[in-house]
Amino acid sequence: MATPAFFICLSIILSSISISFSQILLLPLTHSLSTVQFNSIPHLLKSITARSAARFLRHRHPHRQVSLPLSPGSDYTLSLSLGSHPPQTLSLYMDTGSDLVWLPCHPFECILCEGKYNPNPAALNLSSTAAPATCRSRACAAAHSSLSSSDLCAVSRCPLESIEVSECDYFSCPPFYYAYADGSLIAKLYTDSLSIPMSSPSLILKNFTFGCANSALGEPIGVAGFGRGVLSLPAQLTDFSPQLGNQFSYCLVSHSFDANRVRLLSPLILGRYKRKEQLGQAEPDFVYTPMLDNPKYPYFYSVGLEAVSIGKRRIESPPRLKRVDRSGNGGMVVDSGTTFTILPSDFYESVVAEFGHRVGRGHNKAGRIEERTGLSPCYYFDDRVAKVPVVALHFGGNSSVVLPRRNYFYEFWDGGDEGKGKKKVGCVMLMNGGDDSEGGGPVGTLGNYQQQGFEVVYDLEKRRVGFARRKCASLWESLNQG
């Protein structure tokens, strides 16, 4: 990985009084598997499918107890620094499915975290410039979404006469419980200076609000939430610089779990850039789909999936996947933190049945591989490249995304040593979300594996998500040098 000295050391100080910022902010995303040794592809796939399934269940049932897998997932991290004299740098997961930035703070207890990926040498020690968020702050109300500021100040033991005249500035926001897709935590809100040392140009953001967790379940690292909430990183950037916060995009390098390619950096871009001037006229334009509002889960980037095409056959999605109802049920979440795309059971069965109809003839099902990977269907092939149909996703707004073959069909060798006795196997990289008749929330997830090789843009101002094919490693080099 490049060191901070590699980047332009121009520091842009953002303040709430005045700001002039015309450039994008470019950050490197590091794949969580870049430092993990994985010798068995089936074992790796099994751990990732388990993590994707657990995350999907937490999306639908945030308050239900869900068994959290201890094995690593396929996620992306970025580096943030908090405090001063000196600032402390930590790696956090970049997560569009969460609206909170939180970090593990000393002393830190992590439950069910044995063996989990953790690039951080230690938890955060709050600096002398850190200050508790007050009970009357907008951030405190956002963290405690069901309580009014008066209730929060009462919990913080602010006297009644002070509550009545809104003079509780010296009373801090009480601790809060936060459940997200990969776990849960108890934290307090603080403000301090935030810097992004690996960005180009570098950034210092004063009075940044974050969660300081002393205990967490299932996640030792911390999360940089990019969801649709006032505590997310884009939202806090918008308060200071609309040019930076109103749009962000990322381009995940296609890796197919290759040990060398997972080490390549993927660009995360905050703000707008002139793509035609930067990348050339030959680059494809974006296709956009509208964001759907979800009253129950307002921080999700929900979209409508209209259909999936397998070859020339278009399979219509069920109505609940196309829209979100008034109770917050339905739709598909575009999620950077889930690896594999998940579809509701009946629709998934229709999609893989059509795929199997076109591929399964003449090829044996690899049932043992399906059990070992958690993926289905899987087939045995000979040494030739398997012939598989083209898969396209059709979203609301008449936008279609044709997936590269490697985004939905993964081929690898199974068994034997040094090529002897090995069999070539191929698996469909989609997952069954199960019966969605119980509970609520989103019924599908667009995972990061299917997003590889696309620049995915979240246009918060125009309330839309866009997709465009890119060579993501080249995009990183082009923007970083430009």
Counting beta carbons within 10 angstroms of the beta carbon of residue 182, is it exposed (0 to 12), middle (13 to 18) or buried (19 or more)?
Answer: buried
- Residue 65 pLDDT class (50, 70, 90 cuts): very low
> By mean pLDDT, which of 60-74, 94-108, 340-354 is the weakest?
60-74
- Pull the structure tokens for residue 412: 């690898």
Q: Find, among 35, 46, 94, the residue nearest to 71 by Cα.
A: 46
> Is the pLDDT score of 69 beyond 50?
no
Residue-level pLDDT at 381? 86
Catalytically annotated residue among 95, 99, 182, 192: 95
* Residue bearing tokens 């590091």: 30
DSSP annotation of 62: T
List Cβ neighbours of 88 (8 Å cut-off, separation of 6 or more). Answer: 81, 82, 124, 125, 127
- Alpha-carbon distance of 122 to 241, in angstroms, equals 32
Question: What are the angstrom distances between the C-alpha of 145 and each of 96, 104, 138, 139, 286?
Answer: 19, 22, 10, 10, 35
Q: Reduce the secondary structure of 148-212 to three states and give it as a string.
A: CHHHHHHHCCCCHHHHHCCCCCCCECCCEEEEECCEEEEEEEEEEEEEECCCECEEEEEEEEEEE
Catalytic residue among 75, 99, 335, 436: 335
**Percentage of residues in the chain having pLDDT higher than 70:** 85
Instruction: Give the pLDDT of residue 54.
Output: 78
Q: What percent of the chain has pLDDT over 90?
A: 56
Secondary structure element (H or E) that encloses residue 93, with its range: strand 88-95
Is 335 part of the annotated catalytic residue set? yes
The residues, ordered by sequence, that sit 6+ positions from 380 with a Cβ below 8 Å of its Cβ are 363, 364, 365, 366, 423, 424, 425
pLDDT band at 482 (very low <50, low <70, confident <90, very high): low
pLDDT of 430 above 90: yes
Give the list of residues 6+ apart from residue 113 with CB closer than 8 angstroms, or none: 70, 216, 218, 219, 220
> Cis omega (within 30 of 0) on the bond before 377?
yes
> Is residue 379 helix, strand or coil?
strand
- The predicted-structure confidence for 352-363, as pLDDT tens digits, reads as follows 999 999 987 778
Q: Which DSSP string do the residues of 328-353 spell out, in sequence order?
A: S-B-EEE-SS--SEEE-HHHHHHHHH
Per-residue pLDDT, averaged over 122-142, amounts to 92
Query: Taking 90 as the threshold, does the pLDDT of residue 290 lie above it?
Result: yes
69 or 248, which is more confident: 248
For 384-426, how does the pLDDT look when each residue is reduced to its tens digit (9 = 90+)?
677 899 999 999 999 999 999 999 999 998 875 545 568 899 9
The pLDDT value recorded for residue 443 is 93
Average pLDDT for 441-450 = 95
Smallest CA-to-CA distance from 336 within 29, 9, 7, 18 is with 29
DSSP 8-state assignment for residue 463:
T
Lowest mean pLDDT among 64-73, 78-87, 124-133: 64-73
- pLDDT, average across residues 270-284: 69
As a whole number of Å, the CA-based R_g of the chain is 23
Token duo for residue 465: 């998500």
| Omega cis (within 30) before 107 | yes
Highest averaged pLDDT of the listed ranges 5-9, 186-190, 359-363? 186-190
Which domains are assigned to the chain?
Answer: 4-251 (2.40.70.10), 276-481 (2.40.70.10)
Highest mean pLDDT (candidates 200-204, 218-222, 289-293): 289-293
The pLDDT value given to residue 438: 62
Interval 110-135 mean pLDDT? 87
Return the pLDDT at 87: 85
DSSP letter assigned to residue 423:
E
Weakest mean pLDDT among 3-12, 168-177, 433-442: 3-12
d(CA 254, CA 260): 11
Q: Assess whether pLDDT exceeds 70 at residue 107.
A: yes
- pLDDT of 9 over the 50 cut: no
What is the layout of strands, in order, in the sheet containing 409-414?
378-381, 423-428, 409-414
